[in-house]
Amino acid sequence: MKARIQWAGEALFIGESGSGHAVVMDGPPESGGRNLGVRPMEMVLIGLGGCSNFDVVSILKKSRQAVESCEAFLEAERAGEEPKVFTKIHLHFVVKGRGLKEAQVKRAVELSAEKYCSASIMLARGGVEISHDYEIIELGQAE
């Protein structure tokens, strides 16, 4: 896996993934940024959420669950002193569908956290306390 990061002036950086996708990163105004992009540590959090959500949806589909929406909401705490690493991250999944089985949703969330999500496992091995929970919203016929 490869990436390229180009400084674009002040605290602005353009990141390009090995697959050719670009993302804009910027620092906060108090650090010389202009708030034109996400912060690098926000990217880590977004990456974790994307990795885990990808797994949850994939596992639910393979389990033949009628999942129609899955959102992951993440909240993180960071150390108070430099380096301000993540110390705790909580993932809350909101899974919507028809006839979803709670046991299958629970299994998908746990498998992602414990076996498949490399971002989650890497952060946990680095000492970050990672927790998760979920809620299921049953969609009616007209929705």
pTM attached to this predicted model = 0.93
Query: pLDDT truncated to tens, each residue of the chain (143 aa)?
Result: 999 999 999 999 999 999 999 999 999 999 999 999 999 999 999 999 999 999 999 999 999 999 999 999 999 999 999 999 999 999 999 999 999 999 999 999 999 999 999 999 999 999 999 999 999 999 986 55
pLDDT in tens, 59-94: 999 999 999 999 999 999 999 999 999 999 999 999
**Structural contact between residues 77 and 105, judged by C-beta atoms closer than 8 angstroms:** no
Domain boundaries of the chain, sorted by first residue:
1-38, 40-138
Does residue 81 sit in helix, strand or coil? coil
Strand pairing category for 12-17 and 3-7: antiparallel
Q: Which CATH class is domain 1-38?
A: mainly beta
**Structural contact between residues 35 and 11, judged by C-beta atoms closer than 8 angstroms:** no
Q: What pLDDT score does 142 carry?
A: 59
For the domain with range 40-138, which CATH number is right: 3.40.630.30, 1.20.1530.20, 3.30.300.20, 1.10.3720.10? 3.30.300.20
The rounded distance, in Å, linking the Cα atoms of 47 and 59 is 18
